[in-house]
Chains A and B, each alone.
Chain A
Amino acid sequence: MAEALTTESLKEIILSRLDATHVEVTDMSGGCGQAFTTVIVSPQFQGLNSLKRHRLVNGALKQEIAAIHAWTAKCKTPDEWQRDQGEANRPDLEGTVGGKVEGTTQ
């Protein structure tokens, strides 16, 4: 490859090749372009299991992944991503029964 990958260049590549709606790229290498952790949200993952999703990504980024030492990807569909975001923002329901607090009313 001509030049080392950056978070920006890798993000552009993923957005375009995987029809992604949301991409997060974190460079874990300290700048040498050898280690990336990514979150990829794409409708192309719909109906595919985890292995097939990763195979799709591996195929689309063959050259790039070969040049990266440490590659990590989380592959979500837009629906799953939205649901996960919702869960992250929701208040903690621990100790409740289906979201209701028991014993507060007669």
Chain B
Amino acid sequence: MFARTATARQGLRTAFRGAPSAAFSAPRLAIPRQSLQIRFLSAETRTAIDKAVASAPVVLFMKGTPETPACGFSRAVIQILGLQGVDPTRFAAFNVLEDAELRSGIKEYSDWPTIPQLYVEKEFVGGCDILVSMHQNGDLAKLFEEKKLVVEEGKEEKTE
């Protein structure tokens, strides 16, 4: 369905930069757009998003790419994930600006009106406000540690 933004395996500090962006390639609906004042999530898009959400333990739907976020809120979440030391090999990002279907679909899928949106092990965690407060109060560190999604100490400097 749609391809994830490939995750660079190049160490923690650069982990959330340098990821080439990939196109969201869900099939388009042949329904005239103007008739869709309120757009309903098609079965195809839902399936595509199901797969995206399951594509990695940590999945971010964002504006732009980890390397070049196109919105301050998406940038803030990328920075938080970097600070938390989330393992880049277990992370996938999807750029909603590359496909209108994904951009509107993910809002309905998550019942959440804004982007970015973070999923951890297929569960919706929240948007920027929630992630900032979870980052500050320690809940996010706890979540990533419990699920063992953080890069191990020492492994960080490893070169491949």
B113: which A residues are within 8 A, CB to CB? 58, 62, 65-66, 71
B114: which A residues are within 8 A, CB to CB? 65, 71
Chain B residues 128-152 with CB under 8 Å of chain A are 128-130, 133-134
| Cβ-defined contact, B126 with A51, below 8 A | yes
Assuming the A-B contacts A50-B134, A70-B73, are A58 and B112 also in contact, with contact meaning beta carbons closer than 8 angstroms in the complex? Answer: yes
Interface centre among B113, B126, B127 (most CB of A within 10 A): B113
| Shortest beta-carbon distance from B64 to chain A in Å | 15
The answer for the CA separation of A46 and B125 in the assembled complex, in Å, is 20
Contact residue among A54, A62, A66 (Cβ-Cβ distance under 8 Å from B129):
A54
The answer for the CA separation of A51 and B133 in the assembled complex, in Å, is 11
The answer for the CA separation of A54 and B113 in the assembled complex, in Å, is 10
| Shortest beta-carbon distance from B132 to chain A in Å | 9
The answer for the CA separation of A55 and B130 in the assembled complex, in Å, is 11
| Cβ-defined contact, A54 with B134, below 8 A | no
| Shortest beta-carbon distance from B104 to chain A in Å | 11
B129: which A residues are within 8 A, CB to CB? 54, 72-74
| Cβ-defined contact, B128 with A54, below 8 A | no
| Cβ-defined contact, B73 with A54, below 8 A | no
Q: Which residue of chain A has its CB nearest to the CB of B113?
A: A65
Chain A 61-102 interface 0/1 with B at a Cβ cutoff of 8 Å (1 = within): 010011000111110000000000000000000000000000
| Shortest beta-carbon distance from B78 to chain A in Å | 17
The answer for the CA separation of A66 and B37 in the assembled complex, in Å, is 13
Q: Which residue of chain A has its CB nearest to the CB of B137?
A: A50
A71: which B residues are within 8 A, CB to CB? 113-114
Q: Which residue of chain B has its CB nearest to the CB of A38?
A: B129
| Shortest beta-carbon distance from B150 to chain A in Å | 21
Show 26 residue pairs from A and B whose CB-CB distance is below 8 angstroms, ordered by the A residue: A50-B126, A50-B130, A50-B133, A50-B134, A51-B124, A51-B125, A51-B130, A54-B126, A54-B127, A54-B129, A54-B130, A55-B111, A58-B112, A58-B113, A62-B113, A65-B114, A66-B113, A70-B72, A70-B73, A71-B113, A71-B114, A72-B128, A72-B129, A73-B129, A74-B129, A74-B133
- Taking Cβ atoms with an 8 Å cutoff, the residues of B that contact A are 72-73, 111-114, 124-130, 133-134
- Taking Cβ atoms with an 8 Å cutoff, the residues of A that contact B are 50-51, 54-55, 58, 62, 65-66, 70-74
Interface contacts beyond A55-B111, A65-B114, A71-B114: sample of 12 additional A-B pairs, CB < 8 Å, sorted by A: A50-B126, A50-B133, A50-B134, A51-B124, A51-B126, A54-B127, A54-B130, A58-B112, A70-B72, A71-B113, A73-B129, A74-B133
